[in-house]
Amino acid sequence: MTAIEQSIFKAYDIRGKVGTELTPDVAEAVGKAFADWLPTEGAVAVGRDMRPDSSALAAAFAQGLRVQGRDVVDIGQVTSDMIYFAVGSGGLAGGAMVTASHNPGADNGIKLCREDAKPVGIESGLAEVRDAAIAGTFKAAERTGKSTEMDVTEAWIEHALSFVDASVWPAYSVAVDAGNGMAGAIVPRLEPKIPLAITPMYFELDGTFPNHIANPLVPENLVDLQAKIAETKADFGVAFDGDGDRAVVVDENGTPLPGTIVTAILAEYFLSKHPGATILYNANCGRVVPATIEKHGGVPRRTKVGHSFIKADMRQYDAVFAGEHSGHYYFKDNFYADSGLIGALVVIEVLAKSGLRLSELAARYQNGYVSIAETNFEVTDKDAVIEKLRHDFSDAAQNELDGLTVEYDDSWFIVRPSNTESVIRLNAEATSQQALDTLVARATAVIAAE
């Protein structure tokens, strides 16, 4: 029986080092366990990204499904948001995407969902899949499943375009950095259907990431895009992560729009279409998000960070949209799933209707706040550090929805423990640079004293 490391099963998906922690034998065992666990009868979609080993891992996972009697719909090389679309639109029992998203090329992983594209995280089924895969305890199957291939790209693009009216867009000049990730296969199929003049960057699929890691949240990974925007005098740019489910928009000056600002922009847009609707935002989004939702008559609801929590809360509260500070955007009409492509398209739609430049549009939502980039601290005892912060900031309002949030009138911060590492993550925001520096210095001193 194949030995499987429990540590590869993370809070939201499976991640591991290729060839040691994550092998075809491991993928097949997880496929068997997933086939048995799925609560709905029917076929399972399997997709993969462009990493060198993704094809072998996807084939092994599919074999596990078939051995346990599940039919497989192989949708090939796709973005992660396309697996959710395939499952939701096709009425399938579940789906699996072989990808490590924005992680370096030595890693790979598997994202799972069940019927209606519902997420499968450690608290929503992944623990049971993990335990069965590790134990090697699988049900006796009455048949071997069949496999069929399906190209969902055109249907996916039409679905994504249904969120906007691209016929009225100006012919914007746009630089798009796919980071050698899966967006490089999808954007060329989209381009003939929209009036944008796209300058492609790193569209060649290459899971070794020869140009830069496909993680647009890291500033150095945007340097090439910023240079291309300046060189071509583009109206704006878009950078996708490796599996294409996250997009960062960059204005004409080369300034990336934080997820908080984009969440506020999209919240206002969806409230114009769904007056009074509930909008979710995750715990480290800035204050402009709930303020924007309230200003435009919506119902703001704060949620934990992480797609499995957000998707569950969206269904519970019938939210039309949800945004994360990390650049994941979720849409009710997209089976409550996140999509980098849909998020980028709707930002362009809002921009086109506004008649503004992207920097001018973003400025409407800056609301006088300054913030820090999310900062990680390695600590020995995460709980002890958070308890010390709770004690030392007892003069402030506090909230424990996700880690610890500390709020003053002019500033606030949140610290959240990592699910997988001895790390706590700090986000902070204030009405002035001085207030921000003071708050961050005070919080950092407490963390460093651990």
Q: Does residue 221 sit in helix, strand or coil? A: helix
The amino acid that residue 398 corresponds to is Q
Distance, in Å, from the CA atom of 28 to the CA atom of 26, rounded to the nearest integer, reads 5
- Residue 224, token pair as written in the block: 């090439």
Strands 329-331 and 321-323 turn out to be antiparallel
Distance, in Å, from the CA atom of 222 to the CA atom of 218, rounded to the nearest integer, reads 7
Strands 370-371 and 375-378 turn out to be unpaired
- Residue 53, token pair as written in the block: 């080993």
Q: Which is the catalytic residue, given 101, 308, 326, 339? A: 101
The amino acid that residue 291 corresponds to is A
The DSSP string of 16-35 is: EEBTTTB-HHHHHHHHHHHH
Distance, in Å, from the CA atom of 354 to the CA atom of 359, rounded to the nearest integer, reads 12
Query: For the chain, what's the residue count?
Result: 450
The DSSP string of 222-237 is: GHHHHHHHHHHT-SEE
Distance, in Å, from the CA atom of 294 to the CA atom of 341, rounded to the nearest integer, reads 27
The HSE-up count of residue 202 (CA atoms within 13 Å, CB side) is 25
Does the active-site annotation cover 432? no
Distance, in Å, from the CA atom of 292 to the CA atom of 443, rounded to the nearest integer, reads 28
Distance, in Å, from the CA atom of 365 to the CA atom of 353, rounded to the nearest integer, reads 16
Q: State the CB neighbour count (10 A cutoff) for residue 189.
A: 12
Distance, in Å, from the CA atom of 195 to the CA atom of 171, rounded to the nearest integer, reads 5
Residues designated as active site = 101
